[in-house]
Structure 1
Amino acid sequence: MTPGAGSAFDVAVIGGGIIGLAVGFELAREGARVAVLERERPGTGASRAAAGMLAPGHEAGTDPVLYELGLRSYRLWPPFARDIEAAAGTLTGYVGRGIAVVATDEPEAAGLRERAEREGAVRRLRWLPPDALPPYLDRFQGVRGALVFEEGGHVDPVATVRALAAAFAASGSLWTGAEVLDFRDEPGGPGASGRRLAAVRTPWGEVRAGTFVLAGGVSNAALSARLGVALPVIPVKGQVLAVQPPPDLRGFLDGQVPVFGNGVYLVPRLDGRLLVGATEEPEAGYDRSATLGAITRLAAAAQRLVPALERARWLGAQTGLRPGTPDRRPLLGPLPRYPNVIAAAGHYRNGILLAPLTARIVAGLCAGREPEFDLGPLDPGRFVTAPGSDHSMPGPCPGAGKGTAGSEGADTVRKHQWRS
């Protein structure tokens, strides 16, 4: 679908990946008039290299902010998946049976045991010795124990993006081939500092909105730079491979529990496929090509962990660019200089996991609601610089503080009820 010249909306979301579509879906459910502008097809960015893991306890590492975000969002996934599936009439592949991290030597086992003792009660994880491993790990070789996270699971990213696109299109306007060619801004108005974005120009004409959301994945760096604010979104190439496991791995597939170990992760799909990932290649820049070396290393690591995978049937490989940030935390909140532009950027490896929470946060900011928790650590202004400058922009960003939308943000991102 494409816009007509002069189209006007409450909110225009730039980017049709899982973050942009989730934001659009949430806003449309609240009654907002929403357009999602995607320059290619939905899900052609980071989702291409995503295995769809929902692993808040493991992916966060030692970062308490990422853990809190991930856990909040993980707990939103069951109703979020149900709502998407009901609206779209197709499945997301959501499964919530936990995740496991296996140890393949004694030092690793000792480290995981210590982590279970230290964090078990807080992060709902437990250590299983070799004689207590679950059946789905029967074919794993040399496992000295496993750390099992109860709160975790996975979805199928391709199926989820497809379902989200259909669900959003039922109540919003999804446009493909709608690359942002330029921005049109204007003074912020009486009592407001900075400027406000008035419209974006696309091949299909100008699109006006009261609020704009930058959800373009790695493109957010270039998009924000056009507005005179450079979001430090860094492309990190990732490659994953898909195989059809041999019949004797049926137990692992039936378990439907993603497993980390030996430097890779294995994610079973409900359709019988197995995903093996993933590389992290920040040095690759914007290159999206699959490489034999990376795929060979992934396959070899997976076979060392599960020797039976030597007989797996090759199905293919996918690559994508993850939108990273210097501290690995996302950028969520109004953009410095443009309080009516909301950044939903830099989700790195956690875009799938954080999609429902990001959608809720951004919908609240667009409607002028007070945040449910402190967004300060996610403030886009925390290390935003002007293009060509090494100096930080003045901050903090309006609306990014704890329990307040900020006086400037309240003036620009108004509290209101969306029109019916």
Structure 2
Amino acid sequence: MPHVIIVGCGIIGATIAYELSRLPDLAITVLEQQPEATFFPAMAPPVSASRPDWPTLRPVASHAALGILVGISSQKRKGRAWNLRQASIRRYHSLLPELTALTGQPIAHNPQGLLHLLTADANLGDWQTLCEQRASQGFRLDYLSQEQLHDRYPDLDLTGVVAGIHSPQDLHIQPAALLRALIAAARQQGVQFHFTTAVEAVEPCHAAMAPTSSSHNPMAIVHTQTDSFSADWVILAAGLGTAAVIPPGQPPVALMPVLGQGIQVRLTRPLAGHVPLPVVTRNDIHIAPLDTHDYWIGATVEFPQPETPLVPDRAQLQTVWEQAIACLPALAEATWVETWYGLRPRPTHQPAPIIEKLAGYPNVILATGHYRNGILLAPATAQQVSTLMGVNLPLPDAAGSLHQGKA
């Protein structure tokens, strides 16, 4: 039975592990340097009278993400970027009920879609054309006038807003809940997880040198501090840690850490509007309702500077907060529950993400560098990895097919 080793158990590695586990003729092992407890974080701390002094680093980058899936409402219209987005959105609409059926636990998510608020500098004709194009592709975008926005979402401050685009098929998924479900479901289907297991080196064999493996592919050896694992396939999905395990002599995988901060806040009373609020985005500031009282706000985009440590800039977080209040004034009365930050892996010499075989090693696959779209692109990444392996994933249950949503 071919053995697949996945290095990294963030959202990318865990999704690949689960999707491949649906194939009965693969043995799958996931190696992750963080302890397992890190992947099952405690609930947010109790509300305090003052703001948190400093954001907390979330070592699992997937937990630092907001989990907002800008897929159908993306301006990407064709090519690789669009194909990955639409494939992921289609899969998520079957994946969420599939994971819930396997684990018995619903995955926290907002099914109300995404609402883009458009200001005067937006090209409204371009957005209207996008709505028509998405309809021809089997998706839905609703163009809303300022009057329609006010009637439906009276809590929003629409000053400067000329129209809105509502995408009912896009989603907001709470990353920690999704990651827990993926790990649990993959375990049920035989995947072996080794946490607190840092990979020190991957030693692939060139095709001309490799012994014949069970699947007739070159073998590879994955070395940790305590063990060595042989594999028919090695999938490197360790985010920023991927570069450290690239075999010697290979061109480096150039990934830049880009810091992002988020806030969780809590209102003392629900909003006045009768329609549940979708994720609201304006000028790349996102307001994501978790329930009627709690919201995630984010996120900053902070690039490293030469010879300067990459640390959170409180001023940037304050700017995000002020812009969020300008969009949803009720937030001014909210109490800050928690602030956090994480590091996103951004490729510096090629488009994100990197999903390809390692040059010269036909059984080592890179699945990294997703930058700000790791949660969004995880299912499509798993599909691409399976294609590179030459295997076909089973079709999802038709019961979880993409729905059209409500206007």
The TM tier, using the shorter chain, reads 0.7 to 0.9
Residue of structure 2 equivalent to 1:348: 371
Q: Which residue of 1 aligns with 2:125?
A: 114
Partner of 1:152: 170
Question: Is 1:330 aligned to residue 348 of structure 2?
Answer: no
How far 1:359 moved relative to its partner? 1.5
1:168 aligned residue (177, 183, 186): 186
Which residue among 140, 146, 150 is the counterpart of 2:156?
140
1:182 is displaced (CA, Å) by: 2.0
Alignment of 1:278-297 (within 5 A): 278-283=299-304, 289-297=311-319
| Secondary structure of the structure 2 residue equivalent to 1:183 | strand
Work out whether 1:309 is the aligned partner of 2:331: yes
**Conservation of the 8 A alpha-carbon contact between 1:19 and 1:344:** yes
Identity in percent? 27
| Unaligned segments of structure 1, at least 5 residues | 1-7, 373-420
* Aligned-residue offset at 1:271: 7.1
Shift of 1:179: 0.5
Q: Which amino acid aligns with 1:187?
A: H
Distance in 2 between residues matched to 1:225 and 1:58, nearest whole Å? 39
Q: Given the alignment, which residue of 127, 145, 152 partners 2:143?
A: 127
Aligned residue identity for 2:62: S
Q: Which residue matches 1:15?
A: 8
Q: Is the 8 A contact 1:214 1:342 kept in 2?
A: yes
Once the two structures are superposed, the pairs formed by residues 9-408 of structure 1 within 5 Å of their partners are 10-31=3-24, 32-41=26-35, 44-59=59-74, 61=76, 64-104=79-119, 106-108=120-122, 111=123, 113-123=124-134, 124-133=140-149, 137-141=153-157, 142=159, 143-170=161-188, 171-189=190-208, 196=218, 198-224=220-246, 226=248, 228-249=250-271, 251=273, 255-270=276-291, 272-283=293-304, 289-326=311-348, 327-368=350-391
Task: Determine helix, strand or coil for the equivalent of 2:132.
Answer: helix
Q: Please give the secondary structure, in 2, of the residue aligned with 1:188.
A: coil
C-alpha separation in 1, matches of 2:261 and 2:244: 23
Asked if structure 2 preserves the Cα contact closer than 8 Å seen for 1:25 and 1:164, the reply is yes
Does the CA-based 8 Å contact 2:5-2:30 persist in structure 1? yes
Q: Cα distance, 1:263 vs. partner?
A: 3.9
- Asked whether the 8 Å contact 1:45–1:321 carries over to 2, the reply is no
- Distance in 2, matches of 1:237 and 1:265, equals 16
Give the conservation status (yes or no) of the 8 Å contact 1:93–1:270. no
User: Using a 3 Å threshold, how does the CA distance of structure 1 residues 63 and 282 change in structure 2: closer, same or farther?
Assistant: farther
Contact 1:288 1:320 in 2 (8 A): no
TM-score (norm 2): 0.79
**Aligned-partner SS, 2:343:** strand
TM-score, length-scaled by structure 1:
0.77
- What one-letter code is carried by the residue in structure 1 that aligns with 2:344? R
Relative contact order, CA 8 A, sep 6+: which one is greater? 2
Q: Aligned pair in 2 of structure 1 residues 360, 263: CA closer, same or farther (>3 Å)?
A: closer
CA 33–329 in structure 1, closer or farther in 2 if over 3 Å, else same: same
User: CA 1:323/1:59 → structure 2, altered by over 3 Å: closer, same or farther?
Assistant: farther
The answer (yes or no) to whether the contact 1:237–1:287 under 8 Å persists in 2 is no
Gaps of 5+ in 2: 40-58, 135-139, 212-216, 396-407
